Amino acid sequence: MTGLLDNAANSRPIDELLAVMAQLRDPETGCPWDIQQNFKTIAPYTLEEAYEVLDAIERDDMPDLCDELGDLLLQVVFHSQMAEEQQSFGFDDVARAITEKMIRRHPHVFADKRYASEQEQKADWDAIKQQERQVRSDATGSSNAQRTSALDNVALSLPALVRAEKLGKRAARVGFDFPSAPAARDKLSEELHELDNELAVADNHQRIHEELGDVLFSLCNLARKTGVDAEASLRDANSRVESIFIFRIYMLANVAGL
């Protein structure tokens, strides 16, 4: 390791990290575990690290956030190294692509465009993203119209609650939305009524499964219309349940004289 970073004083920290990852993946002298990995085996770790970043943010733990962001950056470097080995792209390509994307999506900052309102800026943002989807579709020769639809690129691997919220937002951008929160609440009542009907039928697991999904999706729409982050709301509820459970265990232990 000392030899690898002999010129550390003259290098950037990101260059050092890239060098470390390249060494870990070296077929002759690298780490056996790192060498054996591929995109699919590393993907779960990438997701886990993203959630650990979120956890540090919610705990307002800045030292831990610094550490967790490093772990997440390592995931980007790991994927980039594997891609470079198969001559698909490298870390510089990743950095360049996101830089160009941010410049392209902010013409009011990096060019001379001016918006009259936040709504106008948001509409232009959506239009730029639609253009990007069309460019990708043309580049891959895709003839599937769905690939450039408003629902394109909502990742299947997202947690279901997060994905439902994103799908609702995308649909709303093209006019498929409830006019108000009360209207979304009415839809939830309708779905709950349909669930009640299915619960009254014996041996009806599949239909209950489907109606529960509709209820959960309707809850996400209601959260969106009221300006509530559904995922954050559920996380807070989980924390309250944990706190109540711990408190009750503590009280029972005191009563028992433990």
Q: What is the 3-state secondary structure (H, E, C) of 142-183?
A: CCCHHHHCCCCCCCCCCCHHHHHHHHHHHHHHCCCCCCCHHH
Give the type of residue at 191.
Answer: E
Q: With bands split at pLDDT 50, 70 and 90, how would you rate the model's confidence at 173?
A: confident
Segment 39-48 long-range contacts (CB within 8 Å, at least 24 positions apart): 39/79, 39/82, 42/75, 42/78, 42/79, 42/82, 43/157, 45/75, 46/72, 46/75, 46/79, 47/157
Residue located via tokens 């692509």: 97
Q: Is residue 116 part of a domain?
A: no
Looking at residue 132, what is its pLDDT?
85
Lowest mean pLDDT among 33-42, 50-59, 75-84, 164-173: 164-173
Q: What percent of the chain has pLDDT over 90?
A: 57
Q: Residues of 24-61 as b/e, b for ≥16 C-beta within 10 angstroms?
A: bbeeeeeeeebeebeeeeeeeebeebeebbeebeeeee
**Total number of domains in the chain:** 1
Q: With bands split at pLDDT 50, 70 and 90, how would you rate the model's confidence at 199?
A: very high
pTM for this model (two decimals)? 0.68
Q: Is residue 250 part of a domain?
A: yes
Q: Is residue 75 part of a domain?
A: no
Looking at residue 147, what is its pLDDT?
47
Average pLDDT value over all residues in the chain: 88
What is the domain-level CATH number for residue 231?
1.10.287.1080
15-42 tens-digit pLDDT: 999 999 999 999 999 999 999 999 999 9
Lowest mean pLDDT among 11-25, 55-69, 111-125: 111-125
**Would you say 234 and 161 are in contact if contact means Cβ atoms under 8 Å apart?**
yes
pLDDT (average), residues 53-71: 94
Q: Is residue 31 part of a domain?
A: no
Q: Please give the Cα distance from 52 to 215 (Å, whole number).
A: 29
Q: Is residue 2 part of a domain?
A: no
Burial zone of 164 (CB within 10 Å; 0-12 exposed, 13-18 middle, 19+ buried): buried
Looking at residue 252, what is its pLDDT?
76
Q: With bands split at pLDDT 50, 70 and 90, how would you rate the model's confidence at 72?
A: very high
Residue 190 structural domain: 155-258
Q: Is residue 202 part of a domain?
A: yes
pLDDT (average), residues 96-110: 94
Q: Is residue 245 part of a domain?
A: yes
Q: Is residue 182 part of a domain?
A: yes
